[in-house]
Amino acid sequence: MLNLSGFRILIDCPLDLLAITIFSPVPCDVGIEAYGQNDQSSIQKKQKLERQMTPDDLVSAEPWYKTVKTLHLWEVSLIDIVLISNPMGLLGLPFLTQNPRFCAKIYMTEATAKIGQLMMEDLVSMHMEFRRLHGPEDSSFPWWTKNLDGEQVPSVLKNLVFGENGDDLGSWMRLYSLDDVKNCMKKVQDVKFAEEVCYNGTLIIKALSSGLDIGACNWLINGPNGSLSYVSDSIFVSHHSKNFDFHGLKGTDVMIYSGFSCLQSAEMTDSDCISTISENNDERLTASLLDNEESLGELEKLAFVCLCAAESADAGGSTLITITRVGIVLQLLELMSNSIESSSLKVPIFVISSVAEELLAYANTIPEWLCEQRQEKLISGEPSFDHLKFIKDKKIHLFPAIHSPNLITSWQEPCIVFAPHWSLRLGPSVQLLQHWRGDPKSLLVLEDGISSGLGLLPFRPIAMKILQCSFLSGIRLQKFPTLLSLLKPKIVLVPDVVNQRINLSTVKTKSILSYSENKMLSVGRIAENADVEIMAELATKLSWKKLRQRENFGIARLKGDFVMENGKHRLVSGLDQEGSSGKTRSLRHWGTVAPETLLDALMKMSVIGSIEHRRGENGAEGKSIIYITNPSGGMIETSEMGTAITTDDETVASKIFQAIDGILDGI
């Protein structure tokens, strides 16, 4: 949550989907007696004092969903702006928008809005399927938490439910409905990459591609007090979405980095950092960031998944792919189909999802959100992704649910199935995993992040081969100092857990600050004085007065309105120069009046007087009084608080005013 120029800005509102692994999937027919004591899983690496977890430890109830911590305590009416960086950051937003006091402006890219809405609809569809099988629950309180507070409950379950400090219980909520999703999306203002939108005439907001996935972005915010960039997990070179547009983030006053995927890489050494920063030429820095080593490594991982699936099919086993990242799924579908077509294998590919047909069709209609290679394919008359032709040739089959009649008639094994998993607790992957878990020839492909211990607990013993993939999901730790050297922000904000893993001492920036969860961090204003735009027509009418106390500094007086437009202070047209209407106005002065200097100026005007200095208490500086005796009486009293003039003679008062005007700067 940011507080910028008096506006509260929420960036992303995700769900903790890993937390629903505490629930038992449906159907779940594995009990303690079926749980293999000789299983070599990571679960057996628990401390000896803690008993081994079994499927019966999981919560057998309708799943609740864990939102952003303390979301239930937020006063949503105080949120002014919501910025969504990627589809996953959208999944928790309906919990906010269903509150009648929510009135914030929501910004996200068009692609994020479309893909995120489809993901939410798919989640609701799978949850409703769970309710049909398990039965609905009307309780407004998660009653099952009472059973997880005992001493015998495994600590991993307690931590997921209550948090390390026991304050996460309020984060659990019942899932929203399809109507909530639709009402949420009605409040969204979608934007294109690099499109500027103005909020309240004060903030200029722009989305720039992050390269993480289709439509994913970083944010650039310009306001009257400076510029701020928000950089989340980003990928420099992508084979499906637009590359990371880091050039648009150069030179901001404040940069907030929120990427946590870099923690998966090794720690930085001093030599790594120094060798990177020494290349201070922008072209060299850019080239080092855009090297294709990472992207080629990602293609090799995808090719390896295809190879493993082909080997399983050749041995008579099926493959279940539960990866949910849209870009990875699209590339895998393409590579898998091409691989099967070029081989002698005749293996059908099934995609089972309530939104599969709409999502795959949409992916071939959005070239502006894709990488250059995909755009060039579309220009040359080919589809952006090859899955389109395989769907037409009936080599890829799309079905909304596992119980679809057409799927039952088309089903054959071995096969390759793409199915969303939502932490292996909802959706078609649950039934398929139950079906194949005892087949050693079959393959399960998981994305890194799903615990093979808790995630697969309900399905053990499992004989399937398991391939857990770690795809690139952000900026590698070794490249972060190089990125900072290229962007040159004045102040950098880094998560404390990242700051502990990296040496940024050689990065040339004004300040590097670390922030942590649930702690407020205040960042001072970079620019002491804000810039003001004056229209040329108005500027030519101003009568500039050169100041005595500041050389080469001019000042003019005018009347009119001082407004904020498009994030900038402006003096709008139509303002009148002082005196243009023929009316006179009193001058304003500033500075300190020295009594001796003032008396000398008065004596040159034939005004005679004397000075009396009075000390304050305890020897402190007091006040000075000039007594006017000729041509008439009067008194001028000066102190730290100000200057007071007393006289009954208008001529004397006029001369005193002229003397002060000759000493002090004023307009």
Q: Looking at the predicted structure, is the pLDDT value of residue 9 above 90?
A: yes
Q: What is the pLDDT of residues 611-646, one digit of tens each?
A: 888 776 766 667 888 888 888 888 888 877 777 888
Q: Looking at the predicted structure, is the pLDDT value of residue 79 above 90?
A: yes
CA-nearest of 633, 645, 640, 648 to 614 is: 640
Average pLDDT of the chain to the nearest whole number = 84
Q: Looking at the predicted structure, is the pLDDT value of residue 559 above 80?
A: no
pLDDT at residue 270, rounded to an integer:
46
Q: Mean of the pLDDT values across residues 37-60? A: 58
pLDDT at residue 57, rounded to an integer:
87
Contact, 198 vs 566, CB < 8 A? yes
pLDDT at residue 452, rounded to an integer:
63
Helix (H, G, I), strand (E, B) or coil at 224: coil
Helix (H, G, I), strand (E, B) or coil at 374: helix
Lowest model confidence (mean pLDDT) among 187-191, 288-292, 506-510: 506-510
pLDDT at residue 478, rounded to an integer:
86
Q: How far apart are CA 107 and CA 205, in angstroms?
A: 9
Domains and CATH numbers, the chain: 1-24+51-191 (no CATH), 307-469 (3.40.50.10890), 532-577 (no CATH), 589-666 (no CATH)
Buried b (16+ CB within 10 A) or exposed e, 412-451: eebbbbbbbbbbbbbbbbbbbbbebbebebbbbbbbeebb
Q: Looking at the predicted structure, is the pLDDT value of residue 89 above 90?
A: yes
CA-nearest of 598, 307, 624 to 467 is: 307
CA geometry: angle 654, 659, 664, nearest 5 deg: 125
Q: Looking at the predicted structure, is the pLDDT value of residue 409 above 60?
A: yes
CA-nearest of 250, 227, 208, 191 to 5 is: 227
Helix (H, G, I), strand (E, B) or coil at 646: strand
* Identity of the highest mean pLDDT range in 71-75, 537-541, 578-582: 71-75
Q: How far apart are CA 540 and CA 522, in angstroms?
A: 41
For residue 558 the two structure tokens come to 């005018």
Residue 156 makes CB contacts below 8 A (sequence gap 6+) with 53, 454
Lowest model confidence (mean pLDDT) among 20-34, 282-296, 454-468: 20-34
Residue 129 makes CB contacts below 8 A (sequence gap 6+) with 401, 426, 427
Q: How far apart are CA 361 and CA 240, in angstroms?
A: 15
Q: What is the pLDDT of residues 213-250, one digit of tens each?
A: 999 999 999 988 889 999 999 999 999 999 999 999 99
Q: Looking at the predicted structure, is the pLDDT value of residue 63 above 60?
A: yes
* Identity of the highest mean pLDDT range in 259-263, 586-590, 595-599: 595-599
pLDDT at residue 32, rounded to an integer:
31
Residue 194 makes CB contacts below 8 A (sequence gap 6+) with 206, 207, 208, 245, 248
For residue 626 the two structure tokens come to 């000039």
For residue 538 the two structure tokens come to 């108005």
Residue 634: count of CB within 10 angstroms of its CB: 22
* Residue that is written with structure tokens 């901001």 in the block: 252
The string of DSSP codes covering 266-329 is PPP-HHHHHHHHT---HHHHHHHHT-THHHHHHHHHHHHHHHHHHHHHHTT--EEE----HHHH
Q: Looking at the predicted structure, is the pLDDT value of residue 33 above 50?
A: no
Q: How far apart are CA 576 and CA 398, in angstroms?
A: 69
Contact, 453 vs 40, CB < 8 A? no
For residue 521 the two structure tokens come to 């961090």
Amino acid in position 8 = R
Residue 174 pLDDT level (bands cut at 50, 70, 90): very high
Q: Looking at the predicted structure, is the pLDDT value of residue 115 above 60?
A: yes
CA-nearest of 438, 483, 485, 482 to 459 is: 438
Residue 527 pLDDT level (bands cut at 50, 70, 90): low
H or E element at residue 81? strand 81-83
pLDDT at residue 268, rounded to an integer:
46
